[in-house]
């Protein structure tokens, strides 16, 4: 079949993925619906399964198909948050967040009980990661998406959660990866941040802080024969990115900045980025900005309209 490059396919993620040929995708980036968080008003939606196990298995069945369509050197990036267990149901408007109990925990329909005592953190991201490993995926990183401007919380008996997870998976030990560098900042003996904190060499070994990839970085040598840290270091795995502010009628958009690094690191220029929970089209926008292509899959036709409007100026620019 001819690949639907830079198009959005409307339908169930698993069904539409099965239509794609083996090994056609360079990079997969997505954020699936979180467990027991929202009701999008579609009988085929993911997130309101009767149990956590059913939710995890359903997602991993989809990611099995993602693994099939990924190239042998392909990469997979999944943003997913957690939820708390509860046993009462208060109802909600379609597409809106579920109403909260007085203690601030999200409601779960009794028919969708987590199987945990009330107020438990469900550990959904880790359950997903472990199941992915059982199915042959290689987990390369657990990235912490730290949200400096997170939503305030009324809860008084635990700490406010200001992070989510981004898991970095691959299907083979050898895969495409463009190293990501960031400004190096180290502390001197007084605890002050110094961009040129020194390392001293003795007995053939480096003392002080370890520098990622330092053999490949240019280093200045002073009169004492000591070496300075390079100005750049390998990017760390805690990323501080503010959540997206949505003007569109979509409630679960991740910010462009969050997925700029995965798409830059995990997809060659001109490659194809797949997102099977396409939503408002953020993955497609970032792919086009980086001179790459996308394929989107989305169940909700209203979100496809939002995504196409967002993508239109970038598609027009690509044609020039």
pLDDT score, position 252: 63
C-alpha–C-alpha distance, residues 278 and 17, integer Å: 13
Q: At a CB cut-off of 8 Å and minimum separation 6, what does 217 contact?
A: 211, 230, 231, 232
- The number of distinct structural domains making up the chain is 2
Q: Do 102 and 67 share a structural domain?
A: yes
Q: Do 79 and 23 share a structural domain?
A: yes
Q: Do 207 and 162 share a structural domain?
A: no
Q: Would you say residue 65 lies in a domain?
A: yes
pLDDT score, position 193: 59
Q: At a CB cut-off of 8 Å and minimum separation 6, what does 199 contact?
A: 206, 207, 208, 209, 211, 226, 227, 228, 229
CATH number, residue 298: 3.40.50.150
Q: Do 107 and 189 share a structural domain?
A: no
pLDDT score, position 106: 44
Q: Do 221 and 78 share a structural domain?
A: no
Q: Do 110 and 50 share a structural domain?
A: yes
Q: Show the domain range for 79.
A: 7-180+236-319
pLDDT score, position 14: 97
Q: Would you say residue 2 lies in a domain?
A: no
Q: Would you say residue 78 lies in a domain?
A: yes
Q: Do 296 and 226 share a structural domain?
A: no
pLDDT score, position 230: 60
Regions in the chain scoring below 50 on pLDDT: 87-110, 197-228, 250
Structure confidence by residue, pLDDT tens digits, 157-185: 999 999 999 999 999 999 999 999 998 76
pLDDT score, position 191: 62
Task: Identify any residues that bridge with 168 across adjacent strands, giving them in sequence order.
Answer: 77, 141
pLDDT score, position 115: 80
Helix (H, G, I), strand (E, B) or coil at 67: helix
pTM score: 0.82
Helix (H, G, I), strand (E, B) or coil at 141: strand
């Amino acid at each position: 079949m001819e690949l639907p490059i830079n198009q959005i396919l409307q339908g169930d993620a698993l069904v539409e993925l099965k239509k794609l040929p083996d090994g056609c995708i360079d990079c997969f980036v997505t954020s699936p619906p979180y467990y027991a968080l929202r009701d999008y008003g579609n009988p085929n939606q993911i997130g309101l399964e009767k149990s956590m196990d059913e939710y995890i298995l359903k997602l991993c069945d989809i990611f099995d198909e993602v693994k099939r369509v990924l190239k042998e050197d392909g990469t997979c990036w999944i943003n997913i948050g957690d939820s708390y267990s509860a046993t009462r149901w208060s109802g909600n408007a379609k597409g809106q967040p579920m109403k909260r109990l007085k203690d601030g925990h999200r409601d779960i329909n009794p028919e969708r009980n987590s199987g945990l005592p009330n107020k438990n953190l469900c550990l959904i991201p880790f359950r997903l990661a472990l199941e992915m490993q059982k199915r042959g995926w290689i987990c390369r990183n657990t990235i912490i998406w730290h949200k400096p401007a997170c939503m305030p919380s009324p809860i008084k008996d635990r700490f406010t959660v200001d992070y989510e997870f981004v898991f970095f998976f691959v299907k083979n030990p050898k895969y495409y990866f463009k190293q990501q560098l960031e400004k190096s900042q180290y502390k001197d003996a007084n605890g002050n941040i110094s961009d040129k904190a020194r390392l001293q060499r003795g007995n053939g070994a480096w003392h002080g802080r370890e520098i990622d990839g330092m053999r490949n970085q240019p280093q200045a040598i002073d009169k004492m024969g000591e070496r300075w840290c390079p100005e750049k270091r390998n990017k760390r795995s805690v990323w501080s990115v503010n959540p997206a502010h949505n003007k569109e009628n979509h409630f679960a958009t991740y910010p462009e900045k969050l997925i700029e690094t995965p798409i830059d690191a995990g997809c060659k220029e001109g490659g194809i980025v797949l997102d099977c929970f396409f939503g408002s089209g953020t993955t497609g926008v970032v792919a086009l900005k980086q001179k790459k292509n996308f394929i989107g899959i989305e169940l909700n036709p209203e979100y496809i309209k939002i995504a196409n409007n967002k993508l239109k100026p970038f598609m027009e620019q690509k044609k020039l």
